Amino acid sequence: MTAAASTIRYWQTPHLPGVELCRARHLDFSYGRHVHLDYHIGLVQYGGQRFIHKGNSHALVAGTLSTVNPDEVHDGLSLLPEGYEVRVFSLPPAQLAALLPQAENRFFAAPLLARPDLYAGFARLHAWLEQPAIDPLQVEEEALRLLATLFALPGQAHALGDPQLRLLRDYLLATLDARHTLEDLGQVVGLTRFAFLRQFKQRTGITPYAWLKRLRLEQGKKLLASGLAVSEVALAVGFFDQSHFHHGFRQAYGLTPAQFRQQMAGSLAR
């Protein structure tokens, strides 16, 4: 990510354990092609965002939700010269299943959803979660109502359901601090290194190295949110040079690992 004059805030709340919240105002920025470990529900309240998802271009503007599944490659850039403001919910699959068991193994059918009622509801819920004194019962009721409505909509098959991709993803998440080769990764799914490289890029839209790097950063985010020190997290996810972790994290999320850790810790301390 390259950002000029961006303001980014991440936080978590005891009312929705495990859910990461973000509110950002961007001016003149771009996100490169990337994936997330979690479901992302996003809404623009000012300006707009253009992004590529599965080879198609989409425009996210006020009144429409973005609904991105785990492991779906996408990018993003400002739709207008004046930039935009966005609110995002990041829901880990395990936390979503705990909140709403019927949503387990369900995936969004499209990256945009034109439902003004859901847009207004998620915008209201996100704003509530910026208030330390919000009533937890009110939050829980609204969150469950919105998520139940959202995941009752028709879904779709998803790459995460592909046994080979799931196997590889789980293997990498369990060995983030190890060195990997194309030959080793190919053996995990029963392919030669040449076939693996070709098929992986065709299936995901990015290279195995780019995917691994993003998995390391995504898992690093979760460990930082749990309170681990930046140096410990860098090593745990495979960045043997802490400066590379610092640079990669800032490029991906718009702030340094230390800043992110401080924001997340401060939100629970309020």
Q: How far, in Å, CA of 238 to CA of 151, rounded? A: 35
Q: Is 42 helix (H, G, I), strand (E, B) or coil?
A: strand
109-113, 153-157, 217-221: which is most confident: 217-221
Measured over the CA atoms of residue 219, residue 225, residue 229 and residue 230, the dihedral's sign is positive
Percent of the chain with pLDDT over 90: 61
Mean pLDDT calculated for residue range 193-206: 89
Q: How far, in Å, CA of 231 to CA of 177, rounded? A: 13
Q: How far, in Å, CA of 215 to CA of 255, rounded? A: 18
Q: How far, in Å, CA of 36 to CA of 16, rounded? A: 19
Please provide the average confidence, as pLDDT, over all residues in the chain.
89
Structure tokens at 269: 């301390």
Mean pLDDT calculated for residue range 86-106: 92
Structure tokens at 203: 């299936």
Q: Give the largest CA-CA distance in the chain.
A: 56
Partners of residue 62 on adjacent β-strands:
none
Mean pLDDT calculated for residue range 234-239: 96
Q: How far, in Å, CA of 98 to CA of 13, rounded? A: 16
Residue 3 binned pLDDT confidence (cut-offs 50, 70, 90): very low
Strand-pair category, 2-12 with 112-113: unpaired
* Neighbouring C-beta atoms of residue 143, cutoff 10 Å: 22
Residue 1 binned pLDDT confidence (cut-offs 50, 70, 90): very low
Q: What is the pLDDT of residues 113-142, one digit of tens each?
A: 999 999 999 999 999 999 888 999 999 999
Q: What is the pLDDT of residues 174-199, one digit of tens each?
A: 999 999 999 999 999 999 999 999 98
